[in-house]
Amino acid sequence: MKFYFPDSQDLVSPTYDFINDEYSPYRVRQRDDVYAHQAVTPIPYDGILVSKAVVDGSMKCAGKYSAPQRERFYRLGVRNFFRLPGPCSTIGDCGAFNYIDEERPPYDVDEVLDFYGRCGFDAGISIDHIIFGYIPEESDTAPEAAWVERQQISLELAEDFITATKKQGARFEPVGAAQGWGPDSYAHSVAQLQKMGYRRIALGGMVPLKSHEILACLRAIDEVRDASTELHLLGINRVESMEQFARHGVASFDSTSAFRQAFMDDRNNYHTATDSYTAIRVPQVDGNPALKRLILSGHVSQGEAVNAERDCLRALRSFDQEETALKEVKSALAAYESLVLGPKKKSYLEHYERTLTDAPWRTCPCALCKKHGIEIVIFRGSERNKRRGFHNLTVLEAKMRQLAFR
C-alpha cells in the first residue's frame, strides 16, 4: 500500500529561531525551506500528489502558487522543484475539489496533458467532476440528475484523456478517475474505465463516506475489476481499514488529514503509534485576532498579555528541562488562557495536563521531536504547527510499514 502526500506548498525553515520567534534575515523561502521528505527520515510517504488547481488555480479559485513559483515549477519539473529523492514517485490530478461548484471542469484534456507531460509526472489522473452523495445498495432512491451527468462527464473526459495519451505517446501512466454515488455506480465507472484501457483507477468523491460504505463500494467493484487493475483512494486515510481495502485491490491512497490535524483539529494534534494529544496553545499576542481585538478595545492590557505569553513559554521550556513543576506550568497556562479565551469559552487545561504528564515528544524517535523538544507540541505559528504535522506523517508512515509486515 503506497501513501501519497498532496502538496499545498507546506515547508518549514531549518534556521527558524524558536526563542525569538523570527526567521533568519538571509532566508530565501524556495531556496532554504524544506519539505517533509527533507526534514525527517525515513521519508514519510511514497510519493506526492500535485493538483493542477493548486498550481494554476481555476476559473473561480486562485491557486496556492505565486506567479514566480508557478513559472519555476513548469521550468524545473515536479521532481526538481520538490527536490525529490529517487524512491519518491509523483502523481498529478486536476484538483476537483477546487471547482466542485462549477457546471463543468475548467480544464480541457490538452491542458491537463501539457501539465502532466511538461512537468514530468510519473502518473496523471483523468479530469473528473466530484459527486457528493451516497445511496446505499439496499435503497430504492434514484440518483439526482446532476450526479448522473457528472459521472458521464468524468467518463467522457477519461476516454478523451487516454486516447490522447496514446496518440501523443505520453510518458506518464494514465490513471482513470471513477465517480459514483453508491456501490453499483462506482462499479459501473470502473467497468467502463477498464474497457477504455485503464489499469490504474482512482476512486474520487469518497471523502465523506464511512469506512463500511467504502468497503461496500469496493466489494461491488470486485465483481467487475480485472485482477491486474489497481485502485487508488483519493483523499482517504483510514489506517484501521487499510488491510481490508487492500484485499479489494486498493494499492495506494492520498490524504492530508494526519498533517492537517496538527493545527486544524480541536484536540488530536500530536499523534503517537497508539494515541493522540492536544497541542498546547500559546498564541502570539500580535498574531491572535481575538486577543488583538480585546487589546484594542481596552478589555485586556497589552503589557499583561505579553508578560503572560512570555511566562508560558518560559515555564514550558523550563518544564522540558525538568526544572519547573507541572503545577507551575499549569498556572502560567491558565493565566494566559483566561486572557485569550475569556470566561465563556471552554478550557484546554485538562488536556494540556495529560500532554505534559505523558510528555510523548521525549520518547518519540523522529528527528524533529529530538531536535525541538517541547516546541513541537506548542500550538503557535506555522513553523511549529507544520513541524508537528510532519511528525504526524512519520507516525502514519510507521503504521503503514507495520501493516505491510504483518
Residues tagged active-site: 93, 254
Q: State residue 270 phi and psi, 5-degree precision.
A: -115, 115
**Local structure of residue 2 (DSSP, 8 states):** E
Ramachandran assignment for 31, one of left (phi > 0), alpha (psi -120 to 50 degrees), beta (any other): alpha
Give the angle subtended at the CA of 321 by the CAs of 315 and 325, to the nearest 5°. 50
Q: Are 284 and 380 in contact (CB under 8 A)?
A: yes
Task: Please answer whether residues 175 and 198 qualify as being in contact, where contact means their C-beta atoms are separated by less than 8 angstroms.
Answer: yes
**Pairwise CA distance, residues 318 & 327, whole Å:** 12
247: phi then psi, degrees, rounded to nearest 5: -65, -15
Please state, in angstroms and rounded to a whole number, the distance separating the CA atoms of residues 340 and 294. Answer: 9
- The amino acid sitting at 15 is T
Q: What is d(CA 83, CA 38) in angstroms, rounded to the nearest whole number?
A: 8
- The whole-angstrom separation of Cα 401 and Cα 406 is 9
In angstroms, rounded to a whole number, what is the distance separating the alpha carbons of residues 270 and 276? 5
Number of neighbouring beta carbons within 10 Å of residue 83: 12
What whole-number distance in Å separates Cα of residue 9 and Cα of residue 309? 29
Euclidean distance between the first and the last CA atom of the chain, given in angstroms as a whole number: 13
Q: Which three cell numbers stand for residue 168?
A: 501523443
Q: Which helix (H) or strand (E) holds 168?
A: helix 145-168
Sign, Cα dihedral of 63, 65, 71, 77: negative
How many Å apart are CA 113 and CA 56, to the nearest integer? 14
Q: In this structure, what C-alpha cell is assigned to residue 195?
A: 474497457
Contact 125, 201 (CB under 8 A): no
Distance (Å, whole) CA 90 – CA 113: 15
